[in-house]
Structure 1
Amino acid sequence: MSKPRKSVARQTRRDDRARVRNDSKLIASADRSIPAQPTAARKEPAVPKTPGQKRYDAGFKSSDIVFGLGPAGTGKTWFAIQRAAEALKAKTIKKIYVTRPAIEVGEGMGFLPGELDEKFAPYLIPVKEAFVEALGAGFYEYCLKAGIIEPVPLAFIRGRTLKDAWVIADEMQNATKAEFKAFLTRIGENAKFVINGDVTQTDEKIGRNSGLMDAVDRIGNHSQVTVVTFTRAEIVRSGLCQDIVEAYEEGFGRF
């Protein structure tokens, strides 16, 4: 009786892998079907819009490691990308790395088709608009192809020295304590690490093993580290986004 069960399990795994491949093809096809529009780069430096963004910006100027903690929609990633792009255009750095924990890929990156850069391409989707706004569509695409902007899974940073670069790490509430240690010890000369996360969005698989607040507790008081906590009142994405965040944090019957 064990053989039929094994056969069913094998078929289920095959179906799951096929579904992931098909979904990836559909996403790629949809992306290609949208005609590319020429987008010019931002000409003026980005201006902080909230008290949190002002503290964040001050941290970029004074610290090598900046933590941005708080809810979605507060502009943590967008503002970090604008400043990183400005540093790149000013030639004070040579690269921009974008990373985040791989836990968000439900099936694991091994099931996604293509080479490593293709597997990690979906991680660029949330940040593409911010890069295009900062650099222009053409220069952004050039930077990707030339490896000047490099998306890299958090797990693949181990063993590397990241220097002359900005490193923007998102969704870091889903990085474990061990991953944080491996990540933070990669910092080299003339490198700035921007670490963003929202502890209320920690994945269930990580739970108490989340390394975000553990890292803040360990190094948050260092002279070269700035910790900025954004509030719900600083959500700039939209008023509705702010209401939704409050509804989920405060419980039912909010409205």
Structure 2
Amino acid sequence: MAKQRKANVTLHFNSDNIIKDLFGPQDVNLSILEEQLGVSIFSRGGTIKIVGDKVAVKACEKVITQFYSVIKKGASVTEDDIRRALTLLSHDSKLKIDNLFSGEIFIPSRKKFVYPKSEGQKKYITAILEHDMTLCIGPAGTGKTYLACAVAISEMLNKKYKRLVLARPAVEAGEKLGFLPGDIAEKVNPYLRPIYDALYDMIDLPQVEKMIAEGTIEIAPIAFMRGRTLNNSFVIIDEAQNATSQQMKMCLTRLGYDSKMVVVGDITQIDLAKDSHSGLVEAWHLLKGIRGMAFHELCEQDIVRHPLVSEIVKSYENRGGDS
């Protein structure tokens, strides 16, 4: 067995405040680096010493120096960011972490930035900004809906669009919704809750309610888009894998002048009846090559939820057989 090559490196930084943010509460970020890379980290003031295997020390140095640069530019760094950077570096040792914090989306209502957490997410944001229509597929937790909402809110609050329309199939309740008791809001709210959750993370609750009351934000099942032309609107179709072929065609043809549409879904989680085909899958293959449209696929490496989610998705993808 080859003997590991020991190494150490000493880093010097000028700002104690940035160092404090980099280390995290109770130095939790350093603990993550030590645990996952198998190194020992010693700090005193603005000086950091890393000791361990040569390859691990080099990786740790890269993470620390690049995250220092990221914080210096005004971004905040969480435990998840550190874990995520280590995961991405394990796949690509040449990855520039600070590049992941470019392409930020400014949310005026919160006076904060939303940053892509992976190269795939960064390209997704670029695709949305540069195309009138974007189709995006990917597993749970890759930020498909959240990032689309972030771009939409930023663009709308900057007066680029007059209205935000968010729709998803209510397939779990039956798209017709007729057999459920209560009025339409009571019927569809549980199935639209993920969209509300994304909005509430970017806009204060009273402002969201005001914008909905004024019609600036509209949230509804996709069946309620029939017969409409959506001008000056930013449209997001969520959970589009559960739209039928006819519904997908109907949604895509609602796009009006000075509008943008983002269609997202996870084609591994189709809940349609066996005799129905996913409109998203069909559109993905049928419409590629049309000018002005973007097709972007996010993968397991783009998952930004709890680290276990990535492992769960990977296990299901590797299982094969029936889904």
Shorter-chain TM-score bucket reads 0.7 to 0.9
Paired residue secondary structure (2:263): strand
Task: Give the Å deviation of 1:218.
Answer: 2.1
Which of 280, 285, 289 matches 1:212? 280
Task: Quote the offset at 1:156 in angstroms.
Answer: 1.8
Say yes or no: does 1:166 pair with 2:234. Answer: yes
Distance 1:86 1:165 in 2: 13
1:232 is displaced (CA, Å) by 0.6
Q: CA deviation at 1:106?
A: 5.1
The runs of 5 or more residues in structure 2 that have no matched partner are 1-107
TM-score by length of 1: 0.77
2:199 corresponds to 1:131: yes
1:68–1:114 Cα change, 3 Å = same
Query: Does the alignment pair 1:185 with 2:250?
Result: no
Cα offset, 1:70, TM superposition: 0.6
Partner of 1:230: 298
Aligned mate of 1:99, from 167, 172, 177: 167
Task: Please report how far the alpha carbon of residue 45 of structure 1 lies from its aligned counterpart in structure 2 after TM superposition.
Answer: 3.4
More strand by share: 2
Aligned partners of 2:306, 2:275: CA distance in 1, in Å? 29
Decide which of 147, 154, 161 is 1:79's aligned counterpart: 147
**What SS does structure 1 have at the residue aligned with 2:178?**
helix
Quote the Cα distance in structure 1 between the aligned partners of 2:275 and 2:133.
24
Give TM-score scaled by structure 2 length: 0.62
Find the residue that maps to 1:209 and give its secondary structure.
coil
**Could you tell me how far 1:210 is from its partner in structure 2?**
1.0
Q: Indicate the structure whose relative CO is greater, using CA pairs within 8 Å and at least 6 residues apart.
A: 1
Residues 120-150 of structure 1, C-alpha deviations (whole Å, 9 max, x = no match): 2223311223212212222112112222211
Alpha-carbon distance in structure 1 between the residues aligned to 2:161 and 2:274? 33
Q: Is the 8 A contact 2:170 2:191 kept in 1?
A: no
Shift of 1:86: 0.7
Rounded to whole Å, the distance in 2 between the matches of 1:78 and 1:111 is 31
CA distance in 2, matches of 1:114, 1:180: 27
**Partner residue of 1:89?**
157
Q: 2:125 aligns with which of 57, 61, 64?
A: 57
Counterpart amino acid of 1:225?
M
For residues 247 and 226 of structure 1, the distance between their equivalents in structure 2, rounded to whole angstroms, comes to 29
Q: Which residue of 1 aligns with 2:66?
A: none
Are residues 1:250 and 2:307 paired? no
Contact 2:234 2:261 in 1 (8 A): yes
Following TM superposition, by how much is the alpha carbon of 1:187 offset from its aligned partner in structure 2, in angstroms?
A: 0.6
Which residue of the other structure, out of 172, 188, 201, is the alignment partner of 2:269? 201
Structure 1 outlier segments of 4+, above 4 Å = none
Q: 1:222 corresponds to which letter in structure 2?
A: I
**Alpha-carbon distance in 1 for matches of 2:230, 2:175:** 28
Displacement after TM superposition at 1:46 (Å): 1.8
Check 1:147–1:71 CA distance in 2 against 1; reply closer, same or farther (3 A cut): same
CA shift, 1:154, in A, is 1.1
Unaligned runs of 5+ in 1: 1-39
CA–CA distance in structure 2, aligned partners of residues 113 and 151 of structure 1: 20
SS in 2 for 1:201: coil
Contact 1:41 1:132 in 2 (8 A): no
Residue equivalent to 1:21 = none
Root-mean-square deviation (CA, aligned residues, Å) is 2.0
Q: Tell me, in whole angstroms, the C-alpha distance in 1 between the residues paired with 2:300 and 2:233.
A: 30
Preserved CA contact (<8 Å) 1:101 1:153: yes
Question: Partners of 1:180 and 1:47 in 2: how far apart?
Answer: 30
Paired residues, number: 213
> In the alignment, which residue of structure 1 is the partner of 2:65?
none
